[in-house]
Structure 1
Amino acid sequence: MIKSSVIFFIAILLFSCQSNTKNKVHKKKPNILFIMSDDHAYQAISAYSDDLIQTPNIDRLADEGMIFTNACVTNSICGPSRATILTGKFNHINGKIDNYFPFDSTQVTFPQLFQQAGYQTAMYGKLHFGNNPKGVDDFMILPGQGNYINPKFITPTGDTVLTGYVTDLITDQTLKWLKEKRDPNKPFMMMYLHKAPHRPWWPSPAKFAEFSKRTFPQPETLFDKYEGRGTAAKTAEMNILHHMMYSHDSKIRPETISKMGSVLPEIEDFENGFYGPYNRANEQQKALYDAVLDSINKDFELNWPKMNEKEKMNWKYQRFMQDYLGCISSIDDNVGRVLDYLDEAGLAENTVVIYTSDQGFYLGEHGWFDKRFIYNESFKTPLLVRWPNQIKPGMSNDEMVQNLDFAQTLLEIAGLDAPDDMQGESLVSLMKGENDKWTRKAVYYHYYEYPAVHMVKRHYGLVSKEYKLTHYYYDIDEWELIDRIKDPLEMTNQYDNPEYENIVKQLKNELIELRKKYKDSIELDQKYIELHKQRENLLKGS
């Protein structure tokens, strides 16, 4: 009797221990791996479109999680996008309206909240503004834009220059942190941030050789004449033929251009646009680049003078795609390295992985490169999320979500409260397939950096699944309405079309309400215009 009682007691004890272990596992905080590239167009991820490139590693996140097909940004430019992601607030609130205005450093960022909650936090790669990121236990970031070849990094213990290619190096250091610095007794929140594929698009030597041999399909609107749009589209300086630089962008050596005597169309190049990046390479690295560079320059010298405008546009477009997509191929390879490590280390099951970009990018659509506009290619951004046991594999979502929402989403995933002054909405309900809990019908967008490089005029607007209403202001006063369903290429302004009169009225009222909701106003527009003019006057004075 006593023996059976002892056995029963041991059995109860074992069951209790197993139960407690299960509860601990259940309550264990998820790790967060936030991966962001710079200027990665959604149309250059094969989970969205396989017309240009295959990205099997990034696609894993779509296959094993959720892809958002209407994810977008609040302001399509690097620094402001990152400020919105970190704070969960629009740029007129966090102060970073463009790449020049300072970020309001009193703002609370979501890494700070993770750190306060006991997460181990780290940031490796490109931040783009500020050299001392808030809320991270460890960091290794590029100063400003950073460099592709043998880049310099800022760390808590001082600056260092590493030999190699930036995408590989950022990944090497991220993996080193995960393997050697990560505390296994704490959940982690790692921000793994790529410089690529930001201009001037220097692929690794191997990708440079591989992609320089490829030819890519032209977008349908490559030769857009902007006849159906207003002043802003017609005056922007982002045209591949007329504004993309020969040396800085297409890798034509300055001496090749000098030897040719006259290269049309005439385009002012950045000083050291070619040799600035190239001369960061050591002799061994230069030798790996030179064979491809020689081939490109020989082809340009022999054939450019014979080409008509359409042929020149296609030549520059192909050169752009070869370098841009070569950079992206390296990102995909390296994302694969990190995902493989999570699997090998047994971390994948409890790690939420997010892949996004700070905004989209034009890959020849409307004849453009760069971003800034509210048109789809720059307004939309890739967003893929893998959350094991919460997101069903292979899910897709087309709701209007924004980078404004990332902070609240990550906080809810971790079971943390978001501050009341954050302006986004958590995407957790969408990730769990509870679409009936999502009430947002339209998003708000506001771009400020004008007059400046690329000369994209200031504008704000409302975007729903069906329509896009935009107000261009500052030195013009023009409105544009795009029917997103009937006109997916965004070629025709319907604002003055009588058939859309009621829709325009309705959307204008909704836009007024959105501006109120997000605390934007005409007064703030004017404030930032005046501050811009003051800054310009100071620069002229100096």
Structure 2
Amino acid sequence: MKNLTLTTDLLILALFLFSACGNQTALAPAKGEDTARPNIIFIMSDDHTTQAVGAYGSRLASLNPTPNIDALAADGALFSHVFCTNSICTPSRGNIMTGQYSQTNGILTLDDTLPPARQYLPMEMSKLGYQTAMIGKWHLKAEPAAYDYYHVLESQGKYFNPEFRASDAGTWPDNFVKYEGHSTDIVTDVTLDWLKTKRKKDQPFFLMHHYKAPHDDFEFAPRYADYLENTHIPEPANLYDQNQPDFGSEATRGVNDDLRNRIGTSVSDRHPYRSYTEQYGITKTPRDSATSAAYQEYLKRYLRCVKGVDDNLGRLFDYLKAEGLWENTVIIYTGDQGFMLGEHDYMDKRWMYDESMRMPFIMHYPAGIKAGTKSELLINNTDFGPTMLSLAGGETPDYMQGRSFAEYLDGSEPDDWRKSTYYRYWMHLTHHDVPANFGLRTKDFKLIFYYAQPYKEKLIGTGSMWWKEDSYPITATPVAWEFYDLKKDPSENVNRYDDPAYADVIASLKDDLREMREELKETDENYPRFQQVIEANWDK
């Protein structure tokens, strides 16, 4: 590792000197800059899914929603197999901050807190001599005190006229700073101010720059009101049930579809208490016409928020180039998870289906990444911290469960890299009516087990916050398995769990899943109620 770091440092220095000679105006470092090690900027948007990043070539790519992000990918590396271990805001951020899975770091649900003593990533960066800053959406409740500087949105954060808590504005939790304007613009303004006035030029920096957008309910800046207004947004075929008759299981549809209207909030009017058809007041007939109209409104609002993020990143990137920081800064762009954009008639995230589980992940680093690199390395968000620490010249601490992929930024894949990644969603039927589940995703297959039990027994019998009445209490729902052949069925429309042709594959994946749960300390030792259900249904 030490020899690798030395070689990398020399390469960085050589390439920097070469680029500086060729473009002294845009790329020359400011006087007194420390260029021996790269700066690192970790950019994360909330709920920005791969389907809405042009570089990933999805059905939305023709709309050109992200030209600045796409250019970043073209000049760097695009990773196509990056997944979260729990598709929901707080646990995903906990994984990134700790390099640990949820039962190890204690961040299982939206209700959990990451105290300063476990804010490992900025702590380790500080040990390596980096100036650290956290700006934007934090969503981990406790003060981000492990950072040298923070300026974070209050709780979830408001889109308009947001409040922040700032390390230079008093004592937590009363250190409020209020702004007028749109949060995406303001987060960028705060970051630019930190780079201009608070950054120490004789020290490398580690900056986490996090947007609220494009989180539900997609309140875009007024200047984007006409964006895509007269454009038809391409629809996923499986938005409509008739196009996916073999999708799901009794866990997600019930026996003879008796829970199809109960499980998973929807774009159509399928879900009785939360759908975009109802939310946007769409009354068109027939039903598919109303669903299509709701989808169009949903996507336009969402993509207007995405456009705001991309435009603001253009501002940030222009500043980095003008100040000579572009060549010696590792820039990472990602979302905190994926997001369902109408696939399977679902909204939000939480699901283990790829649109929800997959994270966009783009890295730009001229000194260390060849332009146009594509990687299929199977990565999850516990790996982000170890990788950034490695790029900063450090090593992965023993307490982190993730693994650095800094040695494989050329698109290569070592033989000893993981062959599958683990997923776990805990918040059974909370907010968006997704059953509790866990499973494995390999490059070719996906195995999902819905154990479908409430996380806390005291929740049994109480209604979700989105329900208008308690007609549907939070109770256990049917337990079932789902299995998808991702090569033949990348949209996950056909559950092949009962197909005898896959019996050996499924048995092998079950063995791997059990072994991985033990290795990662995800065995539910503190939840005997779950263990009983799991063991009773493992071989069914």
Could you say which TM-score interval applies, normalised by the shorter chain? 0.7 to 0.9
CA separation in 2, counterparts of 1:137 and 1:174?
14
Within the candidate set 65, 87, 91, 2:102 is matched to: 91
Corresponding position of 2:378: 400
Corresponding position of 2:302: 324
CA separation in 1, counterparts of 2:195 and 2:530?
42
Within the candidate set 318, 322, 340, 1:362 is matched to: 340
CA separation in 2, counterparts of 1:53 and 1:325?
10
Over 3 Å counting, the alpha-carbon distance change for 1:498 and 1:207 in structure 2 is same
Q: CA deviation at 1:26?
A: 10
**Within 5 Å, which residues of 2 pair with 1:373-384?**
373-384=351-362
CA separation in 2, counterparts of 1:320 and 1:423?
37
Corresponding position of 2:53: 45
CA separation in 2, counterparts of 1:186 and 1:97?
35
Q: CA deviation at 1:116?
A: 2.6
CA separation in 1, counterparts of 2:525 and 2:429?
19
Deviation string, structure 1 residues 270-315 (Cα, Å, up to 9, x no partner):
xxxxxxxxxxxxxxxxxxxxxxxxxxx9xx6xxx545221111111
Over 3 Å counting, the alpha-carbon distance change for 1:493 and 1:448 in structure 2 is same
Deviation string, structure 1 residues 378-409 (Cα, Å, up to 9, x no partner):
01010000112211100111121111100000
| Residue 184 (structure 1) aligned with residue 201 (structure 2) | yes
CA separation in 1, counterparts of 2:207 and 2:106?
25
Over 3 Å counting, the alpha-carbon distance change for 1:528 and 1:499 in structure 2 is closer
Greater Cα offset, 306-315 or 326-335: 306-315
| Residue 239 (structure 1) aligned with residue 266 (structure 2) | yes
**Within 5 Å, which residues of 2 pair with 1:161-180?**
161-180=178-197
Corresponding position of 1:220: 237
Within the candidate set 104, 118, 125, 2:136 is matched to: 125
CA separation in 1, counterparts of 2:76 and 2:384?
16
**Within 5 Å, which residues of 2 pair with 1:332-343?**
332-343=310-321
Corresponding position of 1:418: 396
**Within 5 Å, which residues of 2 pair with 1:8-407?**
28-49=36-57, 50-103=61-114, 106-156=117-167, 157=169, 158-224=175-241, 227-228=245-246, 229-234=248-253, 235-242=262-269, 304-407=282-385
Deviation string, structure 1 residues 403-428 (Cα, Å, up to 9, x no partner):
11000000000011221011111111
Q: Does structure 2 conserve the Cα–Cα contact (< 8 Å) formed by 1:449 and 1:457?
A: yes
Corresponding position of 2:482: 480
User: Taking structure 1 as the reference length, what is the TM-score of the superposition?
Assistant: 0.81
In structure 2, give the amino acid aligned to 1:34. Answer: F
Q: CA deviation at 1:135?
A: 1.9
In structure 2, give the amino acid aligned to 1:504. Answer: I
In structure 2, give the amino acid aligned to 1:354. Answer: I
Deviation string, structure 1 residues 35-65 (Cα, Å, up to 9, x no partner):
0000001010100121444311001221111
Deviation string, structure 1 residues 210-255 (Cα, Å, up to 9, x no partner):
2333320111111136642213332423211237899x996xxxxx
Within the candidate set 480, 485, 507, 1:505 is matched to: 507
Q: Does structure 2 conserve the Cα–Cα contact (< 8 Å) formed by 1:201 and 1:249?
A: no
Deviation string, structure 1 residues 331-389 (Cα, Å, up to 9, x no partner):
00011111111110001111000000000001111111101111010010100001122
- Note the aligned Cα RMSD (angstroms): 2.6
Over 3 Å counting, the alpha-carbon distance change for 1:249 and 1:149 in structure 2 is farther
CA separation in 1, counterparts of 2:165 and 2:351?
32
Q: Does structure 2 conserve the Cα–Cα contact (< 8 Å) formed by 1:121 and 1:136?
A: yes
Q: Does structure 1 conserve the Cα–Cα contact (< 8 Å) formed by 2:133 and 2:150?
A: yes
Q: CA deviation at 1:492?
A: 1.3
- Matched residue of 1:326: which SS? helix
Greater Cα offset, 28-37 or 47-56: 47-56
Deviation string, structure 1 residues 121-179 (Cα, Å, up to 9, x no partner):
11110011225113211111111111111111111212111111110110011011111
Over 3 Å counting, the alpha-carbon distance change for 1:97 and 1:344 in structure 2 is same
**Within 5 Å, which residues of 2 pair with 1:503-542?**
503-526=505-528
Tell me which structure has the larger Cα radius of gyration: 1
Q: Does structure 1 conserve the Cα–Cα contact (< 8 Å) formed by 2:387 and 2:406?
A: yes
Greater Cα offset, 106-115 or 335-344: 106-115
Q: CA deviation at 1:201?
A: 0.3
Over 3 Å counting, the alpha-carbon distance change for 1:213 and 1:438 in structure 2 is farther
Q: Does structure 2 conserve the Cα–Cα contact (< 8 Å) formed by 1:109 and 1:134?
A: no
CA separation in 1, counterparts of 2:109 and 2:342?
24
Q: Does structure 2 conserve the Cα–Cα contact (< 8 Å) formed by 1:429 and 1:438?
A: no
Structure with the bigger percentage of helix: 1
CA separation in 1, counterparts of 2:275 and 2:352?
24
Q: Does structure 1 conserve the Cα–Cα contact (< 8 Å) formed by 2:134 and 2:147?
A: yes
Corresponding position of 1:494: 496
| Aligned structure 1 segments of 4 or more residues deviating by more than 4 angstroms | 24-27, 243-246, 527-530
Greater Cα offset, 322-331 or 152-161: 152-161
- Matched residue of 1:32: which SS? strand
Residues matched between the structures, number:
462
CA separation in 2, counterparts of 1:188 and 1:380?
28
Over 3 Å counting, the alpha-carbon distance change for 1:104 and 1:154 in structure 2 is closer
Q: Does structure 2 conserve the Cα–Cα contact (< 8 Å) formed by 1:83 and 1:96?
A: yes
In structure 2, give the amino acid aligned to 1:207. Answer: Y
User: Taking structure 2 as the reference length, what is the TM-score of the superposition?
Assistant: 0.81
